[in-house]
Amino acid sequence: MKLLDRWKILMGGISLLPMAGTALAQANPLPLADASWQPNEKLQPPVFADTLNPPDAVNIYAAHRSHSSHRSHSSHSSHYSGSGGYSAPRYYNPPATSTRSYTAPSTSSYGAGGASSSSGGNTLYQQSGSTAGTGSTSRTRPTNEQKSNLVVRVQTALTVRKYYQGAIDGLMGKATRGALMAFQMDSALTVNGRMDTPTLNALGIRIP
Amino acid sequence: MLRKETHFEICNLTGPRLLKVITVNEFIQKGLAVCAGEASFHDLLLWLPAATLQDDPQLLSLPVGGFLVPDALTTPTQDTLLVLHSPKELDVVQPGDVVALTPNSTLVRVLYRRGSDSNLLFMTDRCNSLCLMCSQPPKDIDDHWHIEENLRLIDLMDPGEENLGISGGEPTLYRDGLLEILAKCKTVLPQKSLHVLSNGRLLKEPSWIEALAALQHPQLSWGIPLYADNATEHDHVVQAPGAFSETIQGLYNLARAKQIIEVRVVLSRLTTPRLPELAHYVFRNLPFVRHVALMGIESTGLARKHHEALWIDPLDYQEPLSQAVYFLANRGIPVSIYNLPLCLIPPHLSHFARQSISDWKNLFIDACQQCAAIEHCSGFFKSHTDRWQSRGIHPLSIEAFGAYARSAH
């Protein structure tokens, strides 16, 4: 090591001492910005892959044929190239019932609290219109009320994002579906007008 | 201190309502999952600042139970929508809270406050004792409706880990209602720990053993007051002959049901002289007790009426307090001092002192403003007056507080 280098190191050490003034510290000849301070692609802010709903979340509202098709969205991308699909929203097709085959529904707790006993005679407070979750809710198909509740949340999210101006009524009508498809288009999602998991993630909606 | 009720301008309220306040964003993200139990959109009160409302007026078409505008409302709304606006105090009602509304009243009561450690299921105003220092004097009315209100309130609370008190009055008076509430808490709010305040007298009934053992709530504890090591003095404090014996039987029944038990002692002129003997009694006869709380008096309710009989300057019971605390602590029984400001506790006892006063009735007086310990001190009840002020109240300097900190080991 050359004497000059030793001197540099000594200076660097001194600059840590409180008695060394800042002027001296700044006069330190050692380069402050060496190669490791250059912008580095590896130092870009991390992009988290986590989403509100995991990719394999059971989304009974997506109206897909089968559970496994969540993984094959790329195959849907042909929809996307369709001639400006969202300008002419399609009608909502009720979910096909025959081919639905969720084999192992995880014990997700939608309709939470359904097990608790709603002890009758709650006369004190106006009982709200209807009690969600009562009755036998099947795991594979949402009740009309569950579906309507999710549509209300989708409509609200689209309203806040200025895609939707209609009434928030829980009905998946033309205007709502059109707004949903416009949102999907702008968000580079599959434009299918469905409440599928990627769309709900983009809207910030947790699957109930 | 954040009060638990305030006034709003309320439009179109037709009946009593219990509503969960929720922001638009939380509504979008979580929907009904903000409520721990069963709920519908009609149980929600949408938090809609005037600016948001101006941006998206069609949010008023949301099928929720009502809308809360935390500012002044300029535009008139439809005459069917429930709308709350122009609160008298802005901070009292916040998103996440559960509020109760009654027709023909502008009062909005916060029954559940998000993030508070002092949430309470209030069971009844009735009581079978009439303690001389009772802070909430009992009323002999039929208020069974509290049970229904609480069952509904449980559904609308946030899920997740929190403390929840159950108190009154005497909650065991409504035996079935209390058991139903405990069971519902276990189902709907399994992560919330419960603390029931009861005088324990009715628990002498052996059927409680089976009921509580069957309940098997994982985080349920009982705070039972005991004011003396003998029946005469205890019965006098609670103004009920036979109460001591009943409470002791109740304590044993709780132990048989393998419950977590805390013994609470309110410190007054009547209870402090024999405090060391009481500590000895608890250690000898109630070895299953998990915690002993020695509590400064709350100067409200009946206590004000009995000021003469009850008042003793905390400086004058430091010696028996110290003996009782060390007797129990040295024998492995956890012990705490509640409701006493640090300047009234000798430094060597300060690590037993807790910030115990519920946030909605906790304040600090003028003398506290220069105190170095204000962040660590219990402070005072909002009912505090000069008549109940110790001659020892003084701001601690940083050096004096250092002595407290050093003695905490």
pLDDT per position as a tens digit, A46-71 = 666 677 888 888 888 886 443 333 44
pLDDT > 70 in chain B, percent: 99
Q: Which of B41, B122, B153 to mutate to test the interface with A (most CBs of A within 10 A)?
A: B41
Residue B80, pLDDT > 90, answer no
Range B247-258 average pLDDT: 97
pLDDT band (50, 70, 90) for residue B82: very high
Residue A20, pLDDT > 50, answer no
As a whole number, the mean pLDDT across chain A is: 65
Question: Is B61 in Cβ contact with A169 (below 8 Å)?
Answer: yes
Range B77-100 average pLDDT: 91
pTM metric for this prediction: 0.79
Residue B232 sits at the chain A interface (C-beta within 8 Å): no
Pairwise CA distance, residues B231 & B2, whole Å: 39
CA atoms within 13 A on the CB side of B283: 18
- The structure tokens listed for B318 are 């430091």
Helix (H/G/I), strand (E/B), else coil: B409? coil
- The structure tokens listed for B271 are 């209870």
* Stretch (H or E) spanning B45: strand B44-47
Is the domain of B287 the same as that of B172?
yes
Residue B65 sits at the chain A interface (C-beta within 8 Å): yes
Strand pairing class (B5-7; B107-112)? antiparallel
Is the domain of B278 the same as that of B188?
yes
pLDDT digits (tens, 9 = 90+) for A168-199: 999 999 999 999 999 999 999 999 999 999 99
Give the one of B24, B35, B155 whose C-beta lies nearest to A160's C-beta.
Answer: B24
pLDDT band (50, 70, 90) for residue A142: confident
- The structure tokens listed for B290 are 């998990």
> What total number of domains does chain B contain?
2
Residue B174 sits at the chain A interface (C-beta within 8 Å): no
> In A1-27, which positions are buried (b, 16+ CB within 10 angstroms) versus exposed (e)?
eeeeeeeeeebeeebeeeeeeeeeeee
Which CATH number characterizes residue B168's domain? Answer: 3.20.20.70
Which CATH number characterizes residue B71's domain? Answer: 3.50.30
Is the domain of B57 the same as that of B104?
yes
Chain B closest-CA separation from residue A182 CA (Å): 18
Residue A64 sits at the chain B interface (C-beta within 8 Å): no
**Residue tagged 């903000």 (tokens):** B34
Residue B81, pLDDT > 60, answer yes
Is the domain of B211 the same as that of B324?
yes
Distance of CA B125 to the CA centre of its chain: 14
Distance of CA B69 to the CA centre of its chain: 29
Helix (H/G/I), strand (E/B), else coil: B179? helix
| Interface predicted TM-score (ipTM) of this complex, two decimals | 0.85
pLDDT digits (tens, 9 = 90+) for B341-390: 999 999 999 999 999 999 999 999 999 999 999 999 999 999 999 999 99
Is the domain of B165 the same as that of B304?
yes
pLDDT digits (tens, 9 = 90+) for B177-213: 999 999 999 999 999 999 999 999 999 999 999 999 9
C-beta of residue B78 within 8 angstroms of C-beta of residue A178: no
Pairwise CA distance, residues A96 & B263, whole Å: 62
pLDDT band (50, 70, 90) for residue A81: very low
Question: Is B41 in Cβ contact with A119 (below 8 Å)?
Answer: no
Is the domain of B153 the same as that of B285?
yes
Pairwise CA distance, residues A107 & A114, whole Å: 13
pLDDT digits (tens, 9 = 90+) for B47-74: 999 999 988 999 999 999 999 999 887 7
pLDDT band (50, 70, 90) for residue B285: very high
Residue A7, pLDDT > 80, answer no
Q: Would B355 be classed as within a structural domain?
A: no
**Eight-class DSSP state of B272:** S
Q: Would B90 be classed as within a structural domain?
A: yes
Q: Would B283 be classed as within a structural domain?
A: yes
Residues on chain A touching B155 (C-beta within 8 angstroms): 113, 116
C-beta of residue A198 within 8 angstroms of C-beta of residue A80: no
Is the domain of B92 the same as that of B136?
no
Give the one of B15, B41, B151 whose C-beta lies nearest to A152's C-beta.
Answer: B41
Between B168 and B95, the more confident residue is B95
Range A135-139 average pLDDT: 48
Residue B144 sits at the chain A interface (C-beta within 8 Å): no
Residues on chain B touching A116 (C-beta within 8 angstroms): 37-38, 155, 184, 187-188
The last residue of a domain, from among B287, B318, B338? B338
Residues on chain B touching A119 (C-beta within 8 angstroms): 151, 180
pLDDT band (50, 70, 90) for residue B1: confident
Is the domain of B10 the same as that of B90?
yes
Query: What is the pLDDT at residue B72?
Result: 86
Q: Cis omega (within 30 of 0) on the bond before A166?
A: no
Question: Is B149 in Cβ contact with A113 (below 8 Å)?
Answer: no
Query: What is the pLDDT at residue A36?
Result: 61
Residues on chain A touching B63 (C-beta within 8 angstroms): 152, 168-170
Residue A99, pLDDT > 50, answer no
Q: Would B238 be classed as within a structural domain?
A: yes
**Using CA of residue A138, residue A141, residue A147, residue A149, what is the dihedral sign?**
positive
Is the domain of B108 the same as that of B124?
no
**Using CA of residue B82, residue B86, residue B91, residue B92, what is the dihedral sign?**
negative
Query: What is the pLDDT at residue A129?
Result: 44
Q: Would B183 be classed as within a structural domain?
A: yes
Tell me which residue range forms the domain holding B64. Answer: 5-112
CB-defined contacts A:B, below 8 A: 113
Residue A170 sits at the chain B interface (C-beta within 8 Å): yes
Residue A23, pLDDT > 50, answer no
Residue A206 sits at the chain B interface (C-beta within 8 Å): yes
Is the domain of B172 the same as that of B49?
no
Between B79 and A32, the more confident residue is B79
Pairwise CA distance, residues B269 & B320, whole Å: 12
The last residue of a domain, from among B338, B373, B392? B338
C-beta of residue B155 within 8 angstroms of C-beta of residue B36: yes
Is the domain of B320 the same as that of B174?
yes
Question: H-type helices in B240-306, by residue range?
Answer: 243-256, 275-285, 302-305
Range B143-171 average pLDDT: 95
What phi, psi does B380 have (nearest 5°)?
A: -130, 160
Residue B80 sits at the chain A interface (C-beta within 8 Å): no
Cβ-based neighbour number of residue A95 at 10 Å: 18
Pairwise CA distance, residues A206 & A52, whole Å: 6
Residues on chain A touching B78 (C-beta within 8 angstroms): none
Question: Is A124 in Cβ contact with B145 (below 8 Å)?
Answer: yes
The last residue of a domain, from among B322, B338, B354? B338
Q: Would B384 be classed as within a structural domain?
A: no
C-beta of residue B178 within 8 angstroms of C-beta of residue B200: no
Sheet arrangement for strand B83-85? B5-7, B107-112, B98-101, B17-23, B44-47, B66-69, B83-85, B9-11
Q: Would B399 be classed as within a structural domain?
A: no
Residue A161, pLDDT > 70, answer yes
Pairwise CA distance, residues B388 & B335, whole Å: 25
Q: Over chain A, what HEC string results?
A: CCHHHHHHHHHHHHCCCCCCCHHHHHCCCCCCCCHHHCCCHHHCCCCCCCCCCCCCCCCCCCCCCCHHHHHHHHHHHHHHHCCCHHHCCCCCCCCCCCCCCCCCCCCCCCCCCCCCCCCCCCCCCCCCCCCCCCCCCCCCCCCHHHHHHHHHHHHHHHHHCCCCCCCCCCCCCHHHHHHHHHHHHHCCCCCCCCCCHHHHHHHCCCCC
* Stretch (H or E) spanning B329: helix B318-330
Is the domain of B108 the same as that of B130?
no
Q: Would B345 be classed as within a structural domain?
A: no
Query: What is the pLDDT at residue A57?
Result: 85
**Residue tagged 């509504």 (tokens):** B27
pLDDT digits (tens, 9 = 90+) for B7-36: 999 999 999 999 999 999 999 999 999 999
Residue B187 sits at the chain A interface (C-beta within 8 Å): yes
> In B334-358, which positions are buried (b, 16+ CB within 10 angstroms) versus exposed (e)?
ebbbbbbbbbbbebebbbbbeebbb
Residue B259, pLDDT > 80, answer yes
**Eight-class DSSP state of B353:** B
Residue A108 sits at the chain B interface (C-beta within 8 Å): no
Residue A125 sits at the chain B interface (C-beta within 8 Å): yes
Q: How many helices, marked H, and strands, marked E, lie in chain B? A: 12, 17
Residue A27, pLDDT > 60, answer no
As a whole number, the mean pLDDT across chain B is: 94
- The structure tokens listed for A70 are 């969540």
